[in-house]
Amino acid sequence: MTNPPIVPPAEATTQTTVAAPRLWWLKLVMLLGLALIIIGHYLWIGLKLPQTMGVPGMILVAALCAIGLILSLPTKIYLTLLLMEHEHKVKEALNKK
């Protein structure tokens, strides 16, 4: 006789299927924020945009860096989720012993 397949509980599958798109969006926003920070820094240091454009150049560089910093805030959320998942796995491993 063959053993029946092990089916995970419905709660676990819905939680992972819902969490996967959220994590994808968090990673996308996080990378977009870091890209804006890098572009703003390149415009500031590499092209010396504030010196060539004056005040509008300063505003452009500051806006890119500020928006990039705001968009990079999900990095903290993502890292917190990873830490919580790691702690959960450690607790499960300790409970099995």
Domain count for the chain? 1
Question: Does the residue 61 lie in any domain?
Answer: yes
Largest CA distance in the chain: 79
DSSP state of 47: S
Residue 14 located in a structural domain: no
**47 domain residue, yes or no:** yes
Distance CA 16, CA 13 (A): 5
Cα–Cα distance, 45 to 64 (Å, whole number): 13
pLDDT digits (tens, 9 = 90+) for 33-60: 999 999 999 999 999 999 999 999 999 9
With a cut of 70, list the residues of the chain below it in pLDDT: 1-18
Picking from 70, 87, 69, 91, the residue whose alpha carbon sits closest to that of residue 79 is 87
The answer to whether the CB of 33 falls within 8 A of the CB of 70 is: yes
In a domain, 51, yes or no: yes
Range of the domain at 59: 28-96
Quote the pTM value: 0.68
Which residue is it, tokens 């099995």? 96
The answer as to whether 18 is a domain residue is no
Residues 64 and 71: their CA atoms lie apart, in Å, by 10
